[in-house]
Amino acid sequence: KEEWTILRDHPDYLKLSRAELKEKIKSAGIVGMGGAAFPTVVKLSPPKEKPIDTVIINGSECEPYLTGDYRLMLEKPAEIIEGLKVFMKILGVSRGFVGIEDNKPKAVTAMKQAAEGQTGIEVCSLPAKYPQGAEKMLIKSITQREVPPKALPMDVKVVVQNVSTSFAVFEAARYGKPLIERVVTVTGEGITEPGNLLVKIGTLISHLIEECGGMKDETLKVISGGPMMGFAVPSLDVPVTKGTSGIVVMTEGEIAHAEDFSPCIRCGRCIDICPMGLMPSMLSIYAEKGLYEGAKEYNLFDCFECGSCAFVCPSKRPIVQLIRVAKSQVKP
Ligand code: SF4
Ligand code: SF4
């Protein structure tokens, strides 16, 4: 049985204290909606010895295929900027940015209009290059600060929040609305009518697919999240969670089969493309042989599993899967 309450409007929410705003975010159950689902209030509570001077709203989609954040920026730009102001107030900072890839000019325009006249807020158009939406890439592009290996954004005085999270924070601060719904991209060659849906958390994936006209016959796999970092769902009767940014329905033509991979031929393409400057070839070789401590020596835990290395590998090596196995076997 569903029970609903009337939401109360508090137009003066920016006059609340930092502690009161944090309490609203906490009791609304807001988490990072880019996929990680890390509690937002924790990210907004850095230790005293790590002061923050910059907040960045990540308007660069974390994965190809996903367009939910783009849609939200077109439809709710003013609310997203208000969410950014809440973050800035809580962290006591005067510099806020929204980073958007330059292949989304309509979103850049909408967000720039919404930010007009707002002190300390700037909307940045960034080169469209995967994985621009990764936190460390975004920070480098906007602030020219480099997050060192094994460090976090707060170590360079930055907090990054996702577009959807910013919108949810605005709704929590102004109306006290809990995080009960989110935008989910339903896409891929296997879906009949791709689109972005605003859905309640807990809705079954099968309902989303049905709403988008169903799956085509040649569908092979359904991915929760994006095609690079998401995971195949074992059944369509699993629910949308707060971190579900997309459902990708893939056909044979879109899938590389992991069982077809060959030995590393030392071509170096994965090293050239890795945005973290890692040696994915060595990580995958060590992991394949079960030498997980050896993989750690190659900065295993700096890999954020963007999948770029596997995408360019001519031997079709399942580098990310091997890295995930290694990470599960050793401590950071
Ligand atoms: S997935 Fe590959 S390319 Fe991406 S960070 Fe990890 S090692 Fe580098
Ligand atoms: S791209 Fe593939 S084959 Fe080439 S060095 Fe990297 S792991 Fe080896």
Considering the domain architecture, whether residues 275 and 206 belong to the same structural domain is answered as: no
Q: Is the CB of 264 under 6 A from ligand 2?
A: yes
Collect all residues with Cβ–Cβ distance below 8 Å to 243 and sequence separation of at least 6.
Answer: 31, 32, 33, 34, 35, 36, 37
The CATH number given to whatever domain includes residue 197 is 3.10.20.600
Is residue 4 assigned to a domain? no
Q: Is residue 8 part of a domain?
A: no
Give the closest residue to 41 by CA, choosing from 33, 30, 51, 56: 30
Of 251, 255, 253, 256, the closest CA to residue 220 belongs to 251
Please count the other Cβ atoms lying within 10 Å of the Cβ belonging to residue 177: 17
60 lies in a domain? yes
Owning domain of residue 246: 181-254
Which residues have CB under 8 Å from 301's CB, separation 6+? 150, 327, 332
> Which residue from 260, 261, 266, 286 has its CB within 8 A of the most atoms of ligand 2, so it is best to mutate?
266
For the Cβ of 317 lying below 6 angstroms from any atom of ligand 2, the answer is yes
- Tens digit of pLDDT at every position of the chain (332 positions): 778 889 999 999 999 999 999 999 999 999 999 877 889 999 999 999 999 999 999 998 777 889 999 999 999 999 999 999 999 999 999 999 999 999 999 999 999 999 999 999 999 999 888 877 788 889 999 999 998 877 889 999 999 999 999 999 999 999 999 999 999 999 999 999 999 999 999 999 999 999 999 998 888 889 998 887 788 898 999 999 999 999 999 987 766 655 678 899 999 999 999 988 899 999 999 999 999 999 999 999 989 888 899 989 999 899 999 999 999 998 87
Q: Whose CA is nearest to atom 3 of ligand 2?
A: 264
* Ligand 2 atom with least separation from CA of 309: 1
Alpha helices, DSSP H, located in the chain? 18-27, 40-43, 68-75, 77-91, 105-115, 135-143, 163-175, 205-211, 269-273, 280-288, 292-297, 308-312, 319-329
Domain edge (last residue) among 208, 234, 254: 254
Q: Give the domain CATH number at 61.
A: 3.40.50.11540
Domain count, the chain: 3
Q: Which residue's CA is the nearest one to ligand 2's atom 4?
A: 267
Closest CA to 187 of 218, 217, 168, 213: 213
Same domain, 143 and 198: no
Let me know whether 113 and 40 are in one domain: yes
Q: Assess whether the C-beta atom of 304 lies below 6 angstroms from ligand 1.
A: yes
